[in-house]
Copies of this chain bind each other. A is one copy, B any other.
């Protein structure tokens, strides 16, 4: 028995900003017959994650591709793996049975044949949250926000926290975790609508539209009259330079991503090193995959906050495999508000 699997691939490597013409939606036949001794699990994809870091996998070459398996190069024409949520269609494994809801490494497509050893976890069938939350706030975006903030930034109540791309998948959670800890929180974003969301819905002390600022250092000086203690960086480039210039002594910068540099290597940040030395600043890159040790703590706290209405998980959901390329391209134009997800199929 076979089904047609529609999936997205790249036609060739992408070395600049991604465009619709770089992608194609392909169709293949996949077998739903799995041999009884096989460890493969066939999953029907329901929600898939759309993340900026995938652009680094699409490049002809990037030092990122050798660093860790999930960042490995994507081969043009082939399926693209991604974190997602789905339902088991076929499995002979004792730990997964038909109709189980699962989260793990799926694909930008309708079905995934999950190989043995690949990330796959069964979800609790009694879902009190939307299933899509397992892609975003309970997934690597949430873990990156929680672990990156608490473990890497080592914040204290009352500290001054700056978050860039603050309405994005990770940023909007970081700001809220910082507020819950009792920090003073300011975010940057790329539209007035996003600024309004940060200030009015998420309770940030302040926010600014970086596109309307002529001088980012002055903007941060205005928002942080007492300086910045913690900077959670999602963008890199000039914003990182401006943040370092406004940091207090013993300030910490967690580099979660540098989206402004992903599609334009000429925008590399050159922070003032004298500041880094004399203010004893720490800049630390991190990956959510390294933060699994805090996963249990992250999950229980996050569920508690969500149930109490103290944390809002904002999602930006597009429909259908065909929308994946534009959803992905939109990340680099700042189209999304909150976690970008594509719903591939109904539950």
Contacts and interface: CB of A to CB of B under 8 A. Distances in A.
A56 interface: yes
A282 B276 CA distance: 12
Given A56-B274, A236-B273, A249 B279 contact: no
A274 B285 CA distance: 9
Stoichiometry, as copies per complex, reads 2
Interface residues of A, number: 38
A313 interface: no
Contact of A255 (B256, B268, B269, B277): B277
Nearest to A249: B67
Nearest to A68: B278
A280 interface: yes
Interface in A243-257: 245, 249, 255-257
A17 interface: no
A215 interface: no
Contacts of A245: 63
A277 B256 contact: yes
Contacts of A273: 236, 240, 255, 258, 261, 268-269, 285
Given A63-B245, A63-B275, A67-B249, A280 B285 contact: yes
A123 interface: no
A56 B275 CA distance: 11
Contact of A63 (B71, B278, B280, B287): B278
A283 B283 contact: yes
Contacts of A281: 284-285
Nearest to A241: B268
Question: Quick one: which of A68, A255, A262, A273 has the most chain B CB within 10 A?
Answer: A273
Contacts of A332: none
A22 interface: no
Contacts of A285: 273, 275-282
Contact of A67 (B62, B68, B256, B279): B279
A215 to B, nearest CB: 16
A181 interface: no
Contact of A278 (B67, B236, B278, B282): B67
Nearest to A266: B270
A64 interface: yes
A286 interface: yes
A72 to B, nearest CB: 11
A68 B279 CA distance: 8
Contacts of A297: none
A282 B280 contact: no
Given A63-B274, A67-B278, 20 more contacts: A56-B274, A63-B245, A63-B272, A64-B274, A68-B249, A71-B278, A255-B277, A258-B273, A261-B273, A268-B271, A268-B272, A273-B285, A276-B285, A277-B287, A279-B285, A280-B284, A280-B285, A282-B282, A282-B283, A283-B284
